Structure 1
Amino acid sequence: MALLVRRALRHLSRVSDVLFRHTLLEREITIFDDDVFLTSYPRSGNTWTRFLVGNFVNPSEPVTFLNVERLVPDMYKTADWVLRRRPRPRVLKSHECFDARYRRVIYIVRDPRDVAISNYHWEMKLRSVPEGCPIEEFVPLWMSGKFWRRIGSWADHVNSWLATRQGHDGFIMMRYEDLQANPQRELARVAEFMGMDPDVQRINRAIELSSAANMRKMEETQGRKWVATFHTRSDKPFVRKAASGGWRTVLPEKTVAYMEAHWGAIMKQLGYALSSEVEKDAPVATHAGQ
């Protein structure tokens, strides 16, 4: 018990350091008690979840890259006065680490080995990482929080939420891999969490509209008009392979070992098997996502 307490205090100490680094602008938005926050570390499947939830909640208006900021707003891309005018209850995208004001949170988590790869390609798309940069050089810098200083590292972010909210009312955790494997079940969980009827036909339609193929098709014609990507490299897609387990064929063994040495405990807590426990020929799961 004493060990668990020390670990929790250590995690909270690191989280407090991250919180103090936040800018006021990004944390001081108007928040209502009935808001639902789709929260995750960057490149963990948040955009796919926005499309899924948006298509479920708004069946009469399919989500596109042109209307997603209105239907499921990104709190970083939308002015507070605009957000205050959105119909309630609002569903908002957030990458914030623990915030006690968030009363209802759907927390999306993804295998950090795949998150690292997705961030690697995203930073190239943003031009903050040069083409050809070895991924084994990128990963340690990314793990240090260099690219997301405001919210800290993946482990900081995950621990900030799980140490404070897991098992409490108003919080559910959803693994990206589970969403891929059984989107019907996971979207039904989300619907019930939001107090909505998990209608099967409505869920299936939301899944179809949010497929990787459909999102890629929309990105081809709308990506240059979407606030999140209009300024980025057009030769690098936002919606990539949409796969889980890609780290097995992309990351060098030394890089995987480095990640697991630092984050192995939290990975196992979340149900992610370490490389020594994973068969090398295990299949790579594919669905919609980032």
Structure 2
Amino acid sequence: MSGRPDLFEFEGISLTHFFTDNWENVKNFKARPDDILIATYPKAGTTWLSEIVDQLYFGGIEGCKIPIYERVPFLEICGAGFQPGTVAADNLPTSPRLIKTHLPVQLVPKSFWEQNCRVLYVARNPKDTIVSFYHFDRMNQIQPEAGPWEDYIDKFNSGKLVFGSWYDHVQGWWDQRESYPRMLYLFYEDMKEDLMGEISRVCSFLGLSLSEKELQRVTGLTTFEVMKENSMADYSSIGVLDQSISPFMRKGTVGDWKNHFTVSQNEAFDEEYKQRMGKSTLTFRMEI
């Protein structure tokens, strides 16, 4: 594949053509009432939550033999060897359909709200998000170059990464809860701390009642360690991801940012974070 794509502003956020080429079909996507939308800012646990929800509904005895990106299509993707996400979602044989998006709340197709779909959002603390996104951009051939680490923090703070500002993204979806009750807002750190407890919350929200044994089965199959060894969950079959540079499922920990931020970078980031999030009721744990 030749060259990395350029970042440009589209509908007020930073995107590449891989997420805008099919925009009319994304915008006019027809959701169904039983669709479940899994939304996140990139690198916040999207694949993890997708695997959990897929296991809850369709896990079966043997687990899945189909890659996660086919079971849970990426709504806005188009090109790079992927079937357009809208087409993949329309062709899903399962019901409910599980669909993932990284779009900020204001760009989500209106039909999801009109059809009163259930929506799951997961947010991750910004420091670990930056680190994970940085390593992802190093190895993902359909994203702009990551560049030097110290510049990457500035790109993050100014919203110059694919899918725009983390601050606006997590806050926009947080605010949406107030007017849209069929939404569950989860935190990556809570999932790391008590995976079974958070899966129970997801079950309750989705109206599913699982036995203790079933709950243990899904929890066991969706730990980071197990998923990292699962070729149907680790994106190893995607050619545009150069996993020799960095694995798609890298560490999956809370607090790895301490291995990347210098003291001065951390102090500067804390100041920026305080200015941006100081008045928000949304709080993040940078370590557990």
Q: Deviation at 1:24?
A: 3.0
AA in 2 matched with 1:246: D
* Pairwise CA distance, 1:142: 2.6
Cα contact 2:241–2:248 (8 A) shared by 1: no
C-alpha separation in 2, matches of 1:25 and 1:174: 28
Partner of residue 129, structure 1: 145
| Closer, same or farther: CA 33–257 of 1 in aligned 2, 3 Å | farther
**Deviation at residue 36 of structure 1 after TM alignment:** 1.1
Structure 1 residues 97, 207: closer, same or farther in 2, change over 3 A?
same
Partner of 1:30: 30
Question: What's the Cα RMSD here?
Answer: 3.0
Partner of 2:243: 234
Equivalent residues in 2 for 1:261-276, closer than 5 Å? 261-264=271-274, 266=277, 269-272=281-284
User: Do 2:139 and 2:242's aligned partners in 1 also have CA atoms closer than 8 Å?
Assistant: yes
2:196 maps to 184
For residues 153-186 of structure 1, what are the alpha-carbon distances to aligned partners after superposition, in whole Å with 9 as ceiling and x for unaligned? 1011112212232474101100000011111111
SS at structure 2 position matched to 1:106 = strand
1:224, CA displacement in angstroms? 4.1
1:125: Cα distance to partner?
Answer: 0.6
Q: For residues 42 and 263 of structure 1, what CA distance do their matches in structure 2 show?
A: 18
Tell me, in whole angstroms, the C-alpha distance in 2 between the residues paired with 1:190 and 1:248: 30
Distance 1:214 1:198, change over 3 A: same
The structural deviation recorded for 1:223 is 4.2
Comparing 154-163 with 257-266, which one deviates more in the overlay?
257-266
Q: Which residue of structure 2 aligns with residue 41 of structure 1?
A: 41
The answer as to whether partners of 2:67 and 2:235 remain within 8 angstroms in 1 is no
* Amino acid across the alignment from 1:203: L
Aligned residue number for residue 260 of structure 2: 250
Q: 1:84 aligns with which of 82, 87, 90?
A: 90
In proportion to residue count, which structure has more helix? 1
- In structure 2, C-alpha distance between the alignment counterparts of 1:167 and 1:222, rounded to whole Å: 35
1:214 aligns with 2:226: yes
Contact 1:65 1:223 in 2 (8 A): no
Alpha-carbon displacement from aligned partner over 1:7-62 (angstroms, at most 9, x marks no partner):
xxxxxxxx973499964344332212221111000000111111111112112165
Return the alpha-carbon distance in structure 1 between the equivalents of residues 134 and 264 of structure 2: 17
What are structure 1's unaligned runs of at least 5 residues? Answer: 1-14, 275-283, 286-290
- Cα 1:36/1:222, change in 2 over 3 Å: closer
Q: Which amino acid aligns with 1:72?
A: V
**Are the aligned partners of 1:37 and 1:104 in contact in 2 as well (CA < 8 Å)?**
yes
| Alignment partner of 1:93 is 2:103 | no
Asked if the contact 2:123/2:170 (under 8 Å) is kept, the reply is yes
Q: Distance in 1 between matches of 2:234 and 2:130?
A: 26
The C-alpha deviation readout for 1:48-91, integer Å capped at 9, x for no partner, is: 11111111211216555843234322223554344224332212
Amino acid at match of 1:206: V
After superposition, the Cα gap between the structure-2 partners of 1:57 and 1:152, relative to the gap in structure 1 and judged at 3 Å, is same
**Residue 139, structure 1, aligned to residue 153, structure 2:** yes
Listed as ranges, the gaps of 5+ residues in structure 2 are 1-9
Supply the distance in 1 between the matched residues of 2:61 and 2:88 (Cα, whole angstroms): 20
Q: 1:260 — aligned with what?
A: 270
Equivalent position amino acid for 1:95 in 2: H
How many pairs are equivalent?
255
Change (3 A) 1:157 1:52: same
2:54 equivalent in structure 1 = 54
How far apart are the structure 1 equivalents of 2:201 and 2:179? 15
Question: Could you tell me which residue of structure 2 aligns to residue 164 of structure 1?
Answer: 176
Mapped to 2, the partners of 1:68 and 1:239 lie a distance apart of 13
Residue range with higher mean Cα deviation, 216-225 or 187-196: 216-225
Compute the TM-score of the two structures, normalised by the length of structure 1.
0.76
